[in-house]
Amino acid sequence: MLVQVEPGYARALAGLRRVLEQRNSLLKQIAAGQAGNGGQGVLDAWNKELVQVGSEIAAARARAVLELAPEAARCHAEIASGEGLEIRYEGPPENLAEAVNNSLAEDLRRGSTSVGPHRDDLVVLLEGREARSYGSQGQQRTAVVSLKLAEAAVIQARTGERPVLLLDDVLSELDGERRAALLAEVAAGGQVIITAVEAGPFPPDLIAKAMVWTVAEGKIEACG
pTM for the model stands at 0.88
Number of domains the chain is built from? 1
Pairing of strands 129-130, 165-168: unpaired
d(CA 199, CA 7): 41
- Can you tell me the distance from the alpha carbon of 95 to that of 93, in angstroms, rounded to the nearest whole number? 5
Residue 15, helix vs strand vs coil: helix
Supply the range of the domain harboring residue 207.
2-222
Instruction: Answer for the pair 185, 149: CB distance below 8 angstroms, yes or no.
Output: yes
CATH code of the domain in which 53 resides: 1.20.1050.90
Cβ(205)–Cβ(169) below 8 Å = no
Question: Which residues lie across from 200 on neighbouring strands?
Answer: none
Measured CA to CA, the distance from residue 91 to residue 224 in angstroms comes to: 50
Q: What is the pLDDT along the chain (224 residues), one digit of tens a residue?
A: 999 899 899 999 999 999 999 999 999 999 999 988 889 999 999 999 999 999 999 999 999 999 999 999 999 999 999 999 999 999 999 999 999 999 999 999 999 999 999 999 999 999 999 999 999 999 999 999 999 999 999 999 999 998 999 988 888 888 989 999 999 888 877 889 999 888 888 888 888 888 999 998 889 999 86
d(CA 168, CA 165): 10
